[in-house]
Structure 1
Amino acid sequence: MTSQTILLQAFLERVHRRDVSVAIIGLGYVGLPLAVVFAEAGLTVVGIDLDPRKVELLNAGESYIEDVPTSRLAPLVQAGRLRATTDVAVLAECDAVSICVPTPLRKTGDPDISYIVDATEQIARYLHRGMLVVLESTTYPGTTSEVILPRLSDHQDGLRVGEDFFLCFSPERVDPGRTDWTTRNTPKVMGGQTPACLEAGQALYGVAIETVVPVSSPAAAEMTKLLENTFRSVNIGLVNEVLLMCEKLGLDAWEVIEAAASKPFGFMKFTPGPGLGGHCIPIDPLYLSWKLRTLDYTARFIELASEINTGMPRYWVQKVQDALNEASKSLKGSNVLVVGIAYKKDVSDMRESPALDIIHLLQDKGASVTYHDPYVPDVDHDGITMTSVPNLHAALADADCAIIVTDHSTYDWPTIHATARVIVDTRRTLR
């Protein structure tokens, strides 16, 4: 039996005994739910985050993520299964580490993997024999092998991947606010740098997640994630364009979509809206598009879908202007109420929310803008500093126009439609 085999077998045996300590770098919408399912599976988990507020709340057993109720988190903290720290030195004591940091786009549209690089540099300082490193942050194909692996190998000269340590990519599949598909029961794709790496990654994640789907390499797993979100982006772009086309043709786009959805095969229903939001769909396809540009290839579907989707806020602002004109009012000087500003219903997540673009465009045209959102009491983002109006009914009565951007389940839609003087509905809340 080779030393490589002995090291892998020792790791697998510790996983089987639940005698493994796991670090999670990044305690947001991805990292915290992952930390919880590992701890619930009997592993010892330490979360690492630069935000002392998150660390303090977690160590007090208090959750700051809707998908992880405090009633679920607190017992794990009290039992000593889960704790948090800002000190990366704890990595020296950990058998495995998962990287769950943000991967935004720069203003130029290029990928910003600086958070991944920073996390890798910290891990490299404490990398040791038998350690498993898993990247979960969405990125372009090749990042694990071309960016992470060289940094780990350079810092720890002599440690060889697949023999002395293990390296995998396993893309997160988090949909905030969902209760039917969670971190535990959503199948997890896993790509290892070597067969031994894949075996180690599958074993660890298999303890906490019901189904692990192996693929041939980290790049295949990276591409899988981008395909998933590109599929959604392109189809949302298509149905948004259907809305524009139906308007030109004098047709009701929602009627057409509902009728098409009656087909039991060969069609998947998507609906128009105010634009794309969230941590994945507006960003991930552009990672793939950028990577392909470096290979002298234009991802035409991705770029066209992005063009259509990013243009939707402007389309809906024009609808507000048209609706006010019909009421013999000018958009400039009018009071416009934005109903819902989270990027999707029933969550507080504001990342890439199209409501922010809508507010900016309305303000640029001289409107006085307020908003109401039961999940977002205040917002200070991208130059917008506002507080949700306390009384929705009064705000609707005072507004010259209300634009529905986020269709939260808590809203009484018939009453909203009956109260508003003028209404623009981006979500078709009344069928």
Structure 2
Amino acid sequence: MSPVVRRQSRVMRLALPIMLGMLSQSMLNLVDAALVGHLGQEALAGVGIGGYTMFMMTALVFGLSSSVQSQTAQDLGAGKKAVSRSLGAGLLLGALVGIPLSCIAWWQAPALITLLSPADDVSRIAVEYFRWRVIGLTAIALTLCFRGYWNGLQHTHLYLRIIVIVHVFNVLVSAGLIYGIAGLPKLGANGAGIGTTLSLLLGLVIWASVTVKKNRPWGYRLPSLGAVRSTLYLAFPHSMQQLWFAAGYVVLFWLLGRIGTESVAVGHVLVNLSLLLILPGVGVGIAAMSLVGEALGRDDQQAAHRWGIDALSVAGMLLTVLALPMLLFPTTVLAIFFTDHGLIQLGTLPLQITGFMIVLDAAALVLAQALMGAGAQRTVMLLTLSMQWLVFLPLAWWVGIGMEYGLLGVWLVQLFYRLLNSGSFLWVWQRRRWLAQTC
């Protein structure tokens, strides 16, 4: 076996559990929608809006995962005994940020929901659902730290095992609380929120138990101020990136709404398909983060650079295979979601463009994560958000609405944006200035 194939195989071994775990999360979202959907369209809309608001809140703590993972991987490569220093710092930050943030969000839930849903019936359901969900924000923050720690140690199989347990528990408890099954109270949409929060708490207990059992990481002492500062320094840019990236999708759908209802319907399908199919690229990128960090911890800069390229080749092959049905059989794919021939016709060419975008996205998906493994979170944030907010969204408005090219125009602009974005990440990676940002 050649060295390149050996490295690619290692990338796949690390990435596969992450991919499967992310896929199970996507499937769980569909199951939740199906469970709530039987309560009526208002309940489904309320849970959808409440869930998206919760996603925005989660973005504020999401950077803890990459921060802990990149530092853990570098400490592992350097052979340090105290590889859990960043985990302790992340857990402290997660508690300090998560607890007050969840309290404020619970208190201001009506104001937050009103920004997305002016309808009284829908907003009432959304507020109640969101309040049950946001109780678990601190659990999410702490879980992200544990996940980043174990991914940094390259034990990605733990993520898959734990998330499957959590998801099965979530489905069973949520179904019971929504419909009053097995003697549980019938709580409707609120039951879905309670079930999800309880499953998050279960997941946190499992992560903590496994961590304490396997290596008792911190000696039960508070982390140093330096460790907290380093963890916050790396976490903040990634959290801001996630928050504003998600906000960019709100603006995108607002633009599609200005074009027409049909464009919104087709756009939702295209976006959800692309977000689902890029998961292998994200999984490979997370694996690359650990491998790059470990190599830099050993002070092997050449190996760190090579891991990024090897991971990119793996992601490129996976995403190309996944894009083929959209490129070759677009009408068949769209027929799964639409019966209206007009919508299928409207979405055919944009779906093929989406297929090309998924392949082009490989470099951005993988190298962004690899750069985080080198501690270059700020570079990733600036590049990602500048491309989205300064290039894509203004051009999408100008071409799609101003020049009246509609949905097709927006998707052509998005194709150009993805090409430019991935090309920029590849250029940054090849220049290797990120080596100077190693944490």
TM-score category by the smaller chain? under 0.3
TM-score by length of 2: 0.26
State which structure, 1 or 2, has the greater radius of gyration over its C-alpha atoms: 1
User: Relative contact order: is structure 1 or structure 2 higher (C-alpha 8 Å, sep ≥ 6)?
Assistant: 2
TM-score by length of 1: 0.26
User: More strand per residue: 1 or 2?
Assistant: 1
